[in-house]
Structures are given as structure tokens and as C-alpha cells.
Amino acid sequence: MTYSVADFDPAIKGALPSDFQWGYATAATQIEGSWDVDGKGVSIWDKFSQEADIRVDDKSTCKDTCRSYDLFKEDVARMKAYGVTGYRFSFSWTRIIPLGGKDDPINEAGIEFYNKLIDELLANGITPFGTIFHWDTPQTLEDRYGGFLNKEQMVPDFLRYARVCFERFGDRIKNWITVNEPGVFSLAGYAGGAHAPCRSSINEKCKEGDTSREPWLVGHTLLVAHGYACDLYKREFQPTQKGSIMITLSGNWSEPWDAADPKDIEAAERSNQFEIAWFADPLYGKNPEVDYPACMREQLGDRLPHFTEEEKKLIRGSSEYYGMNSYTSFYKRHRDTPAPPEDLKGNVDILDNNKQGQSRGPETDTVWLRSTPWGWGKLLRWIWKRYEMPIYITENGTTAKGEHGWKPQSADDVLEDPFRVEFYKGYLTEVATASQEGVIIKSFFAWSFMDNWEWSNGFTNRFGVTWVDFASAEKKRYAKRSAYFMKDFFNHMIRK
Ligand code: BG6
């Protein structure tokens, strides 16, 4: 045993409200498999992973992943055994509308799959949280007009897809998330180039792209598409379906390298604005003029799109809650040289997040996942103070080196993953104490329910509380100790 219930901090017993939702988050591309089955169309991730083997660390594709398309009933039963109250998953756009466009046909087999999944969740007492767009743009829309680079054509196509989701699933989905992490989609897909559609002028693995402009354009299209989808939902569906709608934003905490240096303090704040306020200010900001943060406008000028009057009205107030995904923290230092056109982070030097050993536990698979609960606590309070919006934590998790070597010996074998248990203990204690201070936090969805296909990391990162044997044809699942820890810890923290 790597933890004991008796050792849980009594100060946070009952810290979370009785209607607090907790569970796990996943995304269609990362778990479903069956990439071309029952009429599903091709997404940019299908193409990205299949056309060139230099793009994914282990040269894998998302053709099979965890085979959840076939095994969803087993997965729901396992989630029930893990004690969750909710499950956040995403709809695959190309399973529902294979070609993606507003005049393209609907695939009834795809609708049927999600109907069965939702019904299975509800039959097991698990509240579904549905993400409409988790990065899987239909390849046809990419080919037709450049996907999210083309706001005029993309927004109506996105809106029709959102409408189909509301019409077909809104009688049972009461918690909608329009877009997952517009920031990561824009930066990794159109700047860093590590993600589909692999457009970048700074990554030689990508063929074309303009890093100085495209990420900002794509981010803008996502925000506008989100705004129109919320407007549609609130006008036509919410009055009868009585659900809520929000967007989920990414953002890791930026801490000044030298806490006594005003320039570093400013650099860290600027970085938080580039990473978080980029989307959050237009959505939730208190400035009556809806715009991107002033420091972004100052650095990027007209490369940062301008909102039309209609967009301003649609976006401000559109998201009913603050959907928050976050993983780690970084130190930032002031930089004296002018920002190059490809700068994405507010012209700062990004430094190690393990200064003075604040990162806890063994080394993680990547520095992006180091355990920094101190920064996570600061981030929760920063968001609350700046926007005063109730927060749904929609993702948080880690990977630890070492899990790859583990092989289960029997069906009952449990991976003792002390690092993940420690990670969640630290982060969740911050959630509990922030909540006790008055920050309104309504959910915690851990990333992730099971090890899955981690985008350009393929199967090299294991994020799950369930270990998956990817070498087996049946993708056998085994519980990790953290799955039981989460159940016990939430049981301790949620008021009866
Ligand atoms: C989030 C995504 O960015 O983090 C997930 O919403 C993703 O889909 C998770 O898998 C972990 O990502 P990464 O890039 O740190 O492996």
C-alpha cells in the first residue's frame, strides 16, 4: 500500500461541496480506435499520424489506441467500480459528420455509438460531460479551405456540427464543453508543429505555415466558433434541455525566476496573460472593451486579429463557467532583446520548473508534467481573483518514468504507482484548501481514465489510473493504485 486512509489530512475532510463532480477525462482520438469503422471519416490526426513516421515519437498511429469504441461497456463498468460521479469524453466530429461540412451527410452509426455510450453512463449513475471539439478537425475541411485558418468557412461548419450534437444528445448531456484548449491546438498545431495539422515555419518536420500569424488566427476562429455555438445553444436548446455550456482553457502557471526582481515579476505576469488571459480576457474579462490582453496587442500588433462588434457581444459572457486544464508550472525571466515575430510566450526566458527542488517526486516523462502543486494553487487563486468565475477543473494529471517497465503478472495485479498518488494528493489538497478559502470549484476530472495515445508522444507517456497492455489484441486494462486512492481521497474530501 502506498497510502493509508487514516493518514488523510483531517483539515480537508469535507472541504468539497456534496454536489462536487469528480472523475476522469478522455478524448475520442486518444481512446476510441476504430478510426475507419462504421462510416467514420478521416481527421487531421488520422492523416498526421499515418502519412509520415517522423511525427509521433514511437511511430504509432491512432488507428486502434485503447479500442474503446468496442470496449466502452467494460470501461463504464470500471469507472463505476472506481467510484466516479462524472466522465468527460469527446465526440469525434468525423464519426458524426464524416466529411465535416454543413451540407455533408450525418453518419447515423456514429450517432448510435454515442447514444449507447451516454445511455450506459447514465444507467450506471455517471454524469456525462461532452466535449464537442477535442482537436480532431475533419481532414476534408482542412483540404477544402484550410480548416481553422479560414474563419468565414469554418464557423458555419462548426456550428452545424455543434447543432447536431445538441439535437441528438442534448436531452441527456447537461454539461457541454465547446472546445478543448484552443491555446494548445493553435500553438502546437500551427507554431510548434508537433501536433496536427503540422503547420509551422519553425519546425522542419512541417511543410508550410507562418508561425508569426497562424496561431493567433486559429485561436481567434476557435473563440468565435465557441461564441456562436454558445449563442445557438442558449437560444434554441437551453430553454428546454436545461444544460450548461463552457469552454476549457489550458494554462500552466508562470512564476517569476527572481521574486525580488520587478522585471521578472512583470515577465511572469506577461507570460500568464499570453498563456491564459489570451482567451480568458475576451471571455470573462472585466474590461468592458472586449479584446485580447494589452501586452499581447502591444507585442503582436495587427498579427493578432481584431474582434468585430458582433463577435465581441457573442464572446463576452458566452461561457457559463471557467473550464480549467493545467499540469505544471514554470519559472520565467525577463528578456532584454526585442521579441522575434515567432515568439509565443510574451518574450520571456522559460526556465526550469525544478528550481531549488520544488518539483516533487521522481522525474516525469517530460518537464511539462512535473509535479508543482504550489503553482497550481497560485493558478487557481489567480483565475478566481481575475475572473470571479466558478471553476470546473476539466483536466490534470501526470506521467512517471518507470511505468513502462511494469508488466502485470495476473488479472488482479495492481501497479503500485506512488508517484501518481503523491501527485494527486498534492494537487487535490490545493483544490480543497482553495475551496475552503472561498474559490468556487465544481469538479475535478483527472487525465486520464487509462493510458492512451498521447498525440505526438504516441504510447510513450502513460497518464492513466488504469494501465493498458497495448501489445495485447484486446488492450487489456489493469487498475493502478491511484484509481483506488482517488476514490478514497474524494470520499474524504466531499461533504456527505
Ligand atoms: C491536454 C490535452 O493538453 O493534456 C489532452 O487536452 C492531453 O488531450 C493531455 O492528452 C496531456 O498532454 P501532453 O501533451 O502533456 O502529453
Domain count, the chain: 1
Half-sphere exposure in the Cβ direction for 170 (13 Å, CA): 24
Peptide bond preceding 448: is omega within 30 degrees of 0, i.e. cis? yes
Instruction: Report pLDDT for 362.
Output: 47
Please report the DSSP string for 23-45 in residue order: EEE--HHHH---TTSTT---BHH
298 catalytic residue (yes or no)? no
- The residue among 356, 383, 358 whose CA lies nearest residue 370 is 358
CA–CA separation, 48 vs 445, rounded Å? 28
Q: What angle do the packed helices 418-437 and 481-493 form, to 10 degrees? A: 20
Q: Is the pLDDT of residue 345 over 90?
A: yes
Indicate whether residue 367 lines ligand 1 (CB < 6 A): no
CA–CA separation, 478 vs 111, rounded Å? 29
Average pLDDT score over the chain: 94
Instruction: Report pLDDT for 355.
Output: 58
Pocket test for ligand 1, best of 395, 449, 462 (most atoms within 8 A of CB): 395
The pLDDT tens digits of the residues spanning 288-341 come to 999 999 999 999 999 999 999 999 999 999 999 999 999 999 889 999 999 999
181 catalytic residue (yes or no)? yes
Indicate whether residue 181 lines ligand 1 (CB < 6 A): yes
pLDDT mean over 211-239 = 98
Question: Residue 370's pLDDT band (boundaries 50, 70, 90)?
Answer: confident
Indicate whether residue 315 lines ligand 1 (CB < 6 A): no
Angle (CA) 135-300-178 rounded to 5° is 25
C-alpha cell at 422: 503523491
Within 84-235, residue ranges assigned H as helices are 93-96, 108-123, 139-145, 151-169, 182-187, 214-232
Q: Is the pLDDT of residue 18 over 80?
A: yes
Choosing from 120, 214, 269, 395, the catalytic residue is 395
CA distances in angstroms from 39 to 34, 81, 94, 130, listed in the order given:
10, 32, 9, 21
pLDDT mean over 7-18 = 97
The CATH number of the domain holding residue 477 is 3.20.20.80
The pLDDT tens digits of the residues spanning 77-136 come to 999 999 999 999 999 999 999 999 999 999 999 999 999 999 999 999 999 999 999 999
| Distance between Cα 260 and ligand 1 center (Å) | 33
Structural domain including 238 reads 5-493
Contact assessment for residue 165 and residue 93, using Cβ atoms and an 8 Å cutoff? no
Pocket test for ligand 1, best of 372, 401, 447 (most atoms within 8 A of CB): 447
